[in-house]
Amino acid sequence: MPGTATETINASIRSKDLVRQLQWRYAVKKFDASLKIGPDLWQTLEEALVLSPSSFGLQPWKFFVVKNPDVRKKLQAVAWNQSQIVDASHLVVFAVKKNLNADDVRRFIALTAEIRGVPKESLAPYQGMMEGFVAKPPIDINEWAARQVYIALGNFLTSAAMVGVDACPMEGFDRAKFDEIFGIRQERLCHRGGRHGGIPRRGR
Ligand SMILES: Cc1cc2nc3c(=O)[nH]c(=O)nc-3n(C[C@H](O)[C@H](O)[C@H](O)COP(=O)(O)O)c2cc1C
């Protein structure tokens, strides 16, 4: 019976808890610098971030967790001096992987084949479809990639709220200066989830 199946799937998070946490969330302007997210909770948030959906699963992004306080001060100076950058327990920078191309698709296929334990050849139709997409994207490929990154940001903010971790999404910074500080050329920084963020690379 469909109703029963839905109830079973949803049993771990009750609808009222979801809405309560989303109502609780807000973009925190002032963090208490003495409060730190514990390692286990942080690990969970990183995993949630890595599980963010993207078109084809291509994940055209890189997430940086900035730990060095000196680097965070430098970033703050080019982010309207916003205090969240230095005061939040964790700082995550969301970077867009620019100019995604067939080489990226091939790397992704190799990784997927390895993780799934299947021959690369079995993924040839999927690879062909993605190569066709990156060769002739329906919109600018960097614009497309930036949209994917915003999905990850949204997922991360919701995940943080679900476990009661404060956060602040932030676009108020000089992207070119952030690129310089990170030594990034291929990627362009898009924005960062304040206070907690996760990071790594997804490997479903
Ligand atoms: C993409 C994005 C960028 C934002 N950039 C900043 C920022 O640089 N600094 C800041 O204090 N808040 C920033 N905010 C927070 C918004 O101002 C805030 O989300 C909005 O006022 C709605 O309030 P709420 O999120 O607390 O409900 C940003 C929010 C989003 C979604």
Q: Where are the domains of the chain?
A: 27-99+139-193
**Any ligand 1 atom below 6 A from CB of 24:** no
Global pTM reads 0.88
Distance 170 CA to ligand 1 centre (A): 6
Domain 27-99+139-193 class in CATH: alpha beta
Per-residue pLDDT of the chain (204 residues), as tens digits, is 444 555 555 567 888 999 999 999 999 999 999 999 999 999 999 999 999 999 999 999 999 999 999 999 999 999 999 999 999 999 999 999 999 999 999 999 999 999 999 999 999 999 999 999 999 999 999 999 999 999 999 999 999 999 999 999 999 999 999 999 998 875 444 433 333 333 333 333
Question: CA 141 → CA 48, 138, 145, 191, distances in Å?
Answer: 25, 8, 6, 18
Distance 26 CA to ligand 1 centre (A): 8
Per DSSP, the three-state class of 129 is helix
**Any ligand 1 atom below 6 A from CB of 170:** yes
Residue 106, strand partner residues: none
Distance CA 65, CA 198 (A): 7
Q: Give helix 102-116 / helix 124-135 axis angle, nearest 10°.
A: 160
